[in-house]
Amino acid sequence: MILIHCPYCDQTLPELEFAYAGEGHIARPTDPSALSDEDWERYLFIRDNPRGRHHERWRHIHGCGRFFNAVRDTVTDKFEMTYKAGEPRQ
């Protein structure tokens, strides 16, 4: 069971307290109506799925309830870091 550091609680806690929430840093466009179908499709459905460093979102759902960002290696399953929502991509 992975240990995950919640950047809000500043505690490293078991994976069971957390929920995965998809790829990180995919901001909702401020004016979706201005987007072409292709751009909207890209926002909705197209994800990176890299082998290696992956930016992703987690929620401390059975703790403080906050969403935050993480960098996890998809090969080793190691968390490189976690940081608060809104902070720049690491």
Partner 1 sequence: MSAHRIAGLGRIDRSRTVTFTFDGKAMQGCPGDTLASALLANSVVLMGRSFKYHRPRGLLGAGAEEPNALVSVDRGGGRFTPNLRATAVEIYEGLNVRSQNRWPSLKTDFGAINDRFGRFFPAGFYNKTFMWPRSFWDKLYEPTIRRMAGLGDAPIEADPDVYAATYAHCDVLIVGAGPAGIDAALEACAARKQVILIDEQDELGGGALADPALWPWLESSLNDLAAAPNVTLLSRTTAFGFYHDNFIGAGQRLTDHLAEPGHGPRERLWRIRAGEVILAQGAIERPLVFAGNDVPGVMLASAARTYLVRFGVAVGDRVVLMAVHDSGWRDAFVLARAGMKIAAIVDLRAQVAPDLMAEAAELGVPVEMNSAVIGVSGRHAVTGAEIADSAGGNRHKIVCDAVLMAGGWTPSVHLWSHSKGSLAWSEEWGAYLADKPNENVRCVGACAGKWNYGTGVSIGALPTPDDPATIKAFVDFQNDVTAKDIALAVREGMKSVEHIKRYTTNGMATDQGKTSNLNALQLASGALDRPVQAIGLTTFRPPYTPQTFGMLAGDAKGALFQPTRKTAIDPWAEEHGAVFELVAQWRRARYFPQGGEDMHAAVARECLTVRSGVGIFDASTLGKIEVVGPDAAEFLNRMYTNPWKALEPGRCRYGLLLREDGFITDDGVSARLAPDRFHLTTTTGGAARVLNMMEDYLQTEWPDLDVWLTSTTEQYAVIALQGPKAREVIAPLVSGIDLSSESFPHMAVREGTICGVPTRLFRVSFTGELGFEINVPAAFGRYVWEQVWAAGQAHGITPYGTETMHVLRAEKGYIIVGQDTDGTVTPYDAALDWAVGKKKADFVGKRSLARPDIVAPGRKQLVGLLTDDPAEVLEEGAQIVADPRQPIPMKMIGHVTSSYWSATLGRSVALALVQGGHERMGETLHVPMPGKTIAAKVSGMVFHDPDGSRLNG
Name the residues that contact partner 1, by CB under 8 A: 1-3, 15, 19, 21, 27-28, 31-33, 35, 37, 40-41, 44, 57, 59, 61, 65-67, 76-78, 85-86
Cα-Cα-Cα-Cα dihedral sign, residues 17, 18, 19, 20? negative
Helix (H) or strand (E) holding 71: strand 67-73
Task: Outline where the chain has alpha helix (H).
Answer: 37-45
How many other C-beta atoms can be found within 10 angstroms of the C-beta atom of residue 17? 17
Give 19 or 81: the residue with its C-beta nearer to partner 1.
19
Shortest reach from residue 49's CB to partner 1, in Å:
19
Residue 3 C-beta: closest distance to partner 1, Å: 5
The least CB distance from residue 36 to partner 1, in Å, is 11
- Minimum distance between the CB of residue 34 and partner 1, rounded to whole angstroms? 9
Which two three-digit tokens encode residue 14? 């078991």
**Residue number with CB closer to partner 1 (41 or 48):** 41
Six token digits for residue 90: 């690491």
